[in-house]
Amino acid sequence: MMHNAPTSDMFDEFAEDLLVERTARPLIIIGASKVDNLLSQILNVYLLPKRAKAKEPDELLEGDRPLGTLSARIKMCYRLGLIDETLYLALEQLRALRNPSVHSIAFDIMKSPTREHIAELRKSIATRHSFRQTKRRYFDNVSFSNIDELQCVLLTLCVLLELIREKVSTTCGSKIALSIATK
């Protein structure tokens, strides 16, 4: 696994950029983009190496490929057992928020169904220990507004995925299946 800078430094830079933003739409877009990138990295590390040449796009993860979308990456990480069901459901809520924030001209966090998606996302993350730790680290001694809470939820999702990315290792495949395939 290659890193250009220490992971914590890179994450702190991302967190600083996210914390500067004070409106929901860009927060959701930036947070979902980071989540998408982290899911791609998790899958890239976990899956066997690509067969494409080094300079060619990954035949599974990049562009118009089977795992080239946020939705597909969320589902695949869940199906591979890389994320649990509660994190899967939270990521699906984020995806449900991201799509209208990117594709709708009239995006209003106070109107249905966006309001409900945000409430479900908050509910699924705010009870986690990782949320409390993120809140303590980035929002200590701060009056917690709705935007602060959304920032904290997004940072928590990213922290969890960053930790998973750091711990995941490349699969060695199914030894039984591989032994059959060589016959």
Q: What is the pLDDT of residues 108-120, one digit of tens each?
A: 888 888 899 999 9
Contact between 124 and 156 under an 8 Å Cβ cutoff? The reply is: no
The crossing angle, in degrees rounded to 10, of helices 70-79 and 85-103 is: 180
Structural domains counted in the chain: 1
Contact between 73 and 40 under an 8 Å Cβ cutoff? The reply is: yes
The reply to whether 139 falls in a domain is yes
Please report, for the domain that includes residue 128, its CATH number.
Answer: 1.20.120.330
Name the pTM for this structure.
0.89
pLDDT higher than threshold 90 for residue 27 = yes
Sequential DSSP letters for 153-164: HHHHHHHHHHHH
The reply to whether 2 falls in a domain is no
Structure tokens at 183: 């016959």
CA 53, distance to chain mean position in Å, is: 27
Contact between 81 and 43 under an 8 Å Cβ cutoff? The reply is: no
Find the mean pLDDT for residues 54-71.
87
Q: What is the pLDDT of residues 133-158, one digit of tens each?
A: 999 988 887 788 889 999 999 999 99
